Amino acid sequence: MSILIIAEAGVNHNGSLAMAKQLADAAKAAGADIVKFQTAKPELVISRFAEKAEYQKAETGEAESQLEMCKRIHLTFDEHARLKEYCDSIGIAYLSTPFDLDSIDFLEQLGTPLWKVPSGEITNLPYLEKIAATKKPVILSTGMSMLSEIEDALSVLEDGGAGPITLLHCNTEYPTPIEDANLLAMQDLREQFGLPVGYSDHTAGIEADIAAAALGAVVIEKHFTLDKALPGPDHKASLSPEELAAMVAGVRKTELALGDGRKHVTKSEAKNKPIARKSILAKRDIKKGEAFTQENLTVKRPGDGISPMRWYEVLGKTAKRDFAEDEKIEL
């Protein structure tokens, strides 16, 4: 099965439905499977005392609170409904991460096919129970999490009847230093929990995503924006539309390169065997009845004669006819 590529638009629409539709267009053009947004009632998610993350302060300043920022850049439920209709009309799957219980109810009514649980909600018991109760598949991000916290979240989801669960390795720093990507942790998650594993990436560039594909990620999620210079918390840590298209192409090529996992001669290389390999040839003219020896035999291309692996089988045999120099030996 192909890697599921989620183009994470998030809040990079800056609160504009028109821009959100443009992001859907860009995700479709890039070849992503899903374009994902974020759904929230900010006042249910963030207290008035909650601080911004450092990267949010760097990109949006410190004058407004986290709550004020999120109110300014979120889409309403009605706008999300219209956005889903638009995504359906252009042929790309719409998905949105809920950040509160009301948003779960709304997205369930909207007909979400699965849930993407963000790293920040992995310790939110009421949230996880509500997600599980829908019985739908869950993609669970694990940024900032210890194995014990992941285990606890999985217990809630599984005990609550959630559908199939996929874990996403993730680092929640925007952008993530490449040395902190720790992609090999995907294997740790597989071994610990026996579940499919993917990667939610916040590094700059596309290298980590290609590497994750090579390491067996079944889902790759990546933020993108229409313009990295736009104001807002996530734009600078996102891919441009052109970079997103390059990432999708790179992941798809990596899938092809991985092959079937079995060592065999491929159709493309089979024709090169006689050209690149060697055969046992006459080192000089050999007369009929003469014994084959190390002095009158050699190994050269082409490789469509007797294999040099039969060298000692041939030595000592008698020539049944004359052989010219460089002629392939026959027994």
Residue 233: predicted pLDDT: 82
**Packing angle, helices 147-159 and 125-133, rounded to 10:** 40
Confidence of residue 57 (pLDDT cuts 50, 70, 90): low
Residue 59: predicted pLDDT: 64
* Residue in 92, 128, 175, 168 with CA at minimum distance from that of residue 83: 92
| Token pair 């089979």: residue | 270
Residue 234: predicted pLDDT: 85
**Packing angle, helices 125-133 and 101-110, rounded to 10:** 20
For domain 4-258, give the fold.
Answer: TIM Barrel (3.20.20)
Q: Where in the chain is the domain with CATH 3.20.20.70?
A: 4-258
Residue 160: predicted pLDDT: 99
Distance CA 296, CA 288 (A): 13
**Bridge-partner residues for 166, per DSSP?**
139
Residue pLDDT, tens place only, 63-81? 678 888 888 889 999 999 9
Residue pLDDT, tens place only, 158-180? 999 999 999 999 999 999 999 99
DSSP three-state, residue 325: coil
Dihedral of CA 94/128/190/208: which sign? positive
- Comparing 252 with 71, the larger pLDDT belongs to 252
Q: Of 111-115, 132-136, 235-239, 252-256, which range is least confident?
A: 235-239
Residue pLDDT, tens place only, 82-91? 999 999 999 9
What residue spans of 61-172 are helical by DSSP H? 66-73, 77-90, 101-110, 125-133, 147-159
DSSP three-state, residue 193: helix
Residue pLDDT, tens place only, 98-145? 999 999 999 999 999 999 999 999 999 999 999 999 999 999 999 999
pTM for this model (two decimals) = 0.90
Residue 47: predicted pLDDT: 92
For range 228-251, the mean pLDDT: 94
Residue 329: predicted pLDDT: 98
Q: Of 51-65, 86-100, 252-266, 285-299, which range is least confident?
A: 51-65
Distance CA 87, CA 171 (A): 28
